[in-house]
Amino acid sequence: MTQILTITLNPTVDLSTSTPEVSAGPKLRCTNPEADPGGGGINVSRAIKFLGGESTAFTAVGGETGAHLLRLLAEEKVRFTAFSVTGGATRQSMAITEQETGKQYRFVMPGPYWNHDMVDESLTAIAYAAPVGGVVVLSGSQPPGVPMDYPARLSRRLTEKGVKLFVDTSGKPLHELVKHPANPYVLRMDDVEAEDLCGHALPTRKDTADFASELVNKGIAENVIIARGADGSTLANAGGRWHASRAIDPEEVVSAVGAGDSFVGAFSMALTRGDTMQESLRFGTTAAAAAVLTAGTQLCSETDVTRLLTGCELEDV
């Protein structure tokens, strides 16, 4: 059994294509679309695979789109456990790049509706699949019908298995987790989400570290990570506060899409191989930096991470 289980409640088949110009009215002739498996946890598992690691992707699937998603995962040799849903077919999302400007337009569907029984059954299935003493990553959006306190419910269900739960969420589920702490092992958010939570800007690394420490002190999570975009990521726990950064030449940046999932995948890998929190932070930050060098669906590459790791700077905050 692998030591990392990723959870994707609302996966998607990501379709990407391009057209000369995006405008309302006329038919837009597009290039042949490319299809990739998508959704937070799935992309974390894909990043782990690209880095030479192993994980199991627990993913909810429904209908023919769900079957297509599983075929795509199998093609990438990502190990998976499928959880069948009955509220509709797995969603599709579409990214259209305007060739004249390079702008990308992204259309994201809501996903199938979950009823109360499906929610309870998923919690039981995840608890059964979770590796004892391993890492479980809950990442991505929640489909309609899933309660906002789902991360907290999952955290309580996993306690008896000694699992390190890593929650990477946003919006209402993040606010609910802060209102009713479940103390997962790691909670990650980006700077926009952090500023929304605290109600004011966090312009400096110290500001970010102060807020992360505040969340730790309140028992929101044992370790809080806040991504500061191109500036890197800040981590706080009871033992200290650190910031890791890896500068990338702006001219090398291809797409920022996938940086967060690459961070989570690399960080989780580092945890399961026994790296310290500081080493895991550096590895995750480097993977996020490597991800911006590729198209979003490609995430990070092992070659780029190895090349960039020595230049990742770590400092106390």
- Contact predicate 131/3, CB 8 Å: yes
Strands (E), 221-304: 223-227, 233-237, 240-245
Interacting residues of 104 by C-beta distance below 8 A, sequence separation 6+: 95, 96, 97, 98, 255
Residue 196 appears among annotated catalytic residues = no
Torsion, CA 12, CA 17, CA 21, CA 23, rounded to 10: -30
For the chain, 317 residues long, the average pLDDT of each consecutive 10-residue run is 89 93 94 92 96 96 96 96 93 91 88 95 96 94 94 90 92 90 92 95 97 96 95 96 86 77 96 94 95 79 92 94
Task: List the catalytic residue out of 191, 261, 304, 316.
Answer: 261
d(CA 225, CA 211): 10
Would you state the pLDDT for residue 297? 67
- Hey, what CATH topology would domain 4-13+41-91+113-316 get? UDP-N-acetylmuramoyl-L-alanine:D-glutamate ligase (3.40.1190)
Query: Where in the chain are the domains?
Result: 4-13+41-91+113-316
pLDDT of residue 317: 94
